[in-house]
Amino acid sequence: MVLVKICGLTEPHGLTAAIEGGADFVGFVFHPPSPRAVTPDIARYLASYVPSSVRRVGLFVNPDLELLQQTVQQGFLDMIQLHGDEDTDFINKLKGDYGLPVMKVVNVAAKKDLEAGARFEPIADWMLFDTKTASGSGGTGRTFDWSVLKDYPHQKPWMLAGGLTVDNIAEASRILAPTVLDVSSGVESSRGVKDPGKIRAFLQAAKSL
């Protein structure tokens, strides 16, 4: 069965829809420029309602070390997601400092972008492949050419992100057979505002693949 991560949750209604709909991962964004950003206190409150069967992921982009420490040391995250220009040394440091699994995002526009993924595979615990954008922070609602990933030699568990919606996940599954789908803008009524109905519909469709 396909697993699903609902990312960019900011309030209880969206979180409830994700949990009740069967999400396997929920994501909280700690990147202030994002319309989906939350403070550590808000995320901790939301995370307190997440059952232990659902993994809580914190998304950071070239994080300020003080913010990262303040967030992670509160103990409500199960995984750190890095969506910026972080290098392998930084990932090793985080794993050593906090003992949490780290997921590294690779932003993809063409096959050549996958070279970045190859150097992170031995270090990261998870990989996530997203659409390459000018900002590099994701959540744009745009897909990339999934076929470039078709023969990628995955060494670690991985997620597919970037413009996923209830209407295109069957095609993504047909091309790549990803084990985890990561959605954010595809379950929103407007930028940064999660739609509980869309969350439930996405989860139902994904779980039926």
**Residue 130 annotated as catalytic:** yes
pTM of structure: 0.95
- Token pair, residue 122, equals 């031995």
Number of domains in the chain: 1
- pLDDT confidence of residue 1: 87
pLDDT tens, residue by residue, 52-63: 999 999 999 999
**Which residue numbers in the chain have pLDDT < 50?**
none
Q: One of 7, 24, 41, 87 is an active-site residue; which one? A: 7
Which residue, among 45, 3, 48, 43, has the nearest Cα to 27 in the 3D structure?
43
Q: What is the domain range of residue 55?
A: 3-207
**Residue 7 annotated as catalytic:** yes
- Token pair, residue 208, equals 């039926």
Residue 30: CATH number of its domain:
3.20.20.70
- pLDDT confidence of residue 169: 97
Q: One of 113, 130, 167, 195 is an active-site residue; which one? A: 130
- pLDDT confidence of residue 142: 85
